[in-house]
Chain A
Amino acid sequence: MYLSIYDFSSFFQSIDNWLTSTFPEPIATIIVWILIGVSAIAFTALLGLSLVYAERKVAAWFQLRIGPNRVGFQGVLQTVADITKLIMKEPLTPGTSDKFLYNLAPFLMMLAPFIVIGALPYAEGLQVMDLNVGVFFVTAVSSIGVLGILISGYSSNNKYSLIGSMRSGAQVVSYELSAGLAIMVIVVMSGSLQFSEIIEAQRDGWWIFKGHLPVWIAFVVFIIAGTAETNRGPFDLAEAESELTAGFHTEYSGIKFAFFFLAEYVNLFIIVVLATTLFLGGWMPLHIGDWEAFNNIADIIPPIFWFLGKVSALIILIMWFKWTFPRLRIDQLLTLEWKYLLPISLVNIVLAAFIILMGWHF
């Protein structure tokens, strides 16, 4: 059972057909590019704004507060107001900083999420580019972000920033290993690096349900490593405000600061989308064995809602971590990675391969 009316590809196909039939080939391609670019920017901005708002609300509820509730209904426009304020502020450049690098860093920071966002699958047919090495592409490109952090810390000419960015460099590089290995488990299981095929492989059940132990371990490892890679609490050592005031972005103000701020949230979104796609079946509805009735109802809910539901659940989970746990120290952070996560992931991937060899997964 599958409802094809929720498939976005025919919709986009018709737009494409109309464009190619109305305009000559090169112009149509350019128009498509522009459309994609504009929607990517709009989507990123919207995403950043709504995630910041969500974080503030969620944090408030954890902390016995109400959260923003003045601007707009229940404060939904609060983040818009904040960003407007940040845009209007003077983008200060410290006199002793390395001007070129200093101004470059925020853009590098924003660049990675921009590129990655196009390669992620949001719903059936709702994906800019279904690369055949999609998973690889996403992990590779998203690690450009750490360059932004390193450069910002280096160029600010501020010792706090420098410590923060050095911490962050060590952290991101280490945690990428175990995140990558966790992803490998799924790649091994579904036998493909292409997002659409990974999702297709979960049509009869999400990997988290049919993958047994290796996938559960990989999921936990991925969530931990992903939280660490996005520099979020309890791994927010790069900006540890009680130690380093604001860490690598201490010297940034105005729109440049906003870039760092938004990039953090878009990165969070990317990690969560990856987790959803790899472990929770992306936009696939929940199917339970042969409960026909339940499966039919699940199919009626559009996939985009399944996707958003899973993503928000994971986002709240990660926010829950941030608002509960104390921060780790830098050496403990590395201990956790090199003594726990990495060995476990290594054993885990062997285990996964063994399970597949024996055909024990569903």
Chain B
Amino acid sequence: MSAIGNYFRSIFSGLKTLFQGMAVTGYYFRNARKEIITQQYPDNKDTLRMYDRFRGIVVMPHDENNLHACTGCSACEIACPNGSIEIIAPRVVDPETGKKKKVINQHIYHYSMCTLCNLCILSCPTEAIVMDQTFEHAVYDRSLLTQILNKPGSSLNPNVKE
């Protein structure tokens, strides 16, 4: 008799667990409006805010006079594990002091090789480069991913101490 009892008990306890499971999904089905977790991405572009520490791409901020803070010291180039930064900074003679000094010519940044590890930002003594929070960087041509961070005609902010 117990075998038959077990048989029916297994059916009913099994059905019960199934209904419990359905109750969970049923709850979400009924409250679908409230519980939806997905974002309507291209539609919510205007309201979408990334966290201020979000690492999207390395940029070099310039102020209104087209001045940046990069001294061309190459610290970021050395810190980068992937060789995504190349600094071209020839030594030129400073007309005032007469000493030879590095001046940034091109701060080349290969986004395609960057792992966004933040090490370059940490290593920069003058905080010349920062992480930007943008994240839509897809391009049609891979060469567009190589950027020169210092803008043409820009120069070192004289207030920056080395």
Contacts and interface: CB of A to CB of B under 8 A. Distances in A.
A61 B21 contact: no
A8 interface: no
A66 B25 contact: no
B28 A61 contact: yes
A324 B36 CA distance: 17
A60 B37 CA distance: 11
Interface in B62-104: none
Contacts of A320: 22, 25-26, 29
Contacts of B143: none
Interface string B11-36: 10000001001101110110010011
Interface in B36-56: 36-38, 40
Interface of A: 58, 60-66, 320-321, 323-325, 340
B8 to A, nearest CB: 10
Contacts, number: 36
Contacts of A58: 29
A55 to B, nearest CB: 13
A140 B24 CA distance: 37
Contact of B18 (A62, A325, A340): A325
Contacts of B40: 66
A64 B25 contact: no
Contacts of A60: 32
A61 B29 contact: yes
29 contacts: A61-B28, A61-B29, A61-B32, A62-B25, A62-B28, A62-B29, A62-B32, A63-B28, A64-B32, A64-B35, A64-B36, A64-B38, A65-B37, A65-B38, A66-B36, A66-B40, A320-B22, A320-B25, A320-B26, A320-B29, A321-B22, A323-B25, A324-B18, A324-B21, A324-B22, A324-B24, A324-B25, A325-B21, A340-B11
A65 B25 contact: no
Nearest to A57: B32
B23 to A, nearest CB: 9
Contacts of B25: 62, 320, 323-324
Interface residues of B, number: 15
A58 B26 CA distance: 11
Given A65-B37, A324-B24, 6 more contacts: A61-B28, A63-B28, A64-B28, A321-B22, A323-B25, A324-B21
B5 to A, nearest CB: 15
A65 B8 CA distance: 38
Contacts of A64: 28, 32, 35-38
A61 B25 CA distance: 9
Nearest to B18: A325
Contacts of B11: 340
A342 to B, nearest CB: 14
Contacts of A340: 11
A66 B26 CA distance: 16
Given A320-B22, A324-B21, A66 B38 contact: yes
Smallest CB-CB A-B distances: 7 pairs: A61-B32, A324-B25, A64-B37, A62-B25, A61-B29, A65-B38, A324-B21
A81 to B, nearest CB: 18
Nearest to A321: B22
Contacts of B36: 64-66
Contacts of A61: 28-29, 32
Nearest to A65: B38
A49 B21 CA distance: 29
Contacts of B37: 64-65
Contacts of A62: 25, 28-29, 32
B29 to A, nearest CB: 5
Contacts of A321: 22
A75 to B, nearest CB: 12
A340 B18 CA distance: 16
A58 B32 CA distance: 10
A23 B62 CA distance: 86
Contacts of B38: 64-66
Most A CB contacts (10 A, CB to CB) among B28, B32, B37 go to B32
B42 to A, nearest CB: 10
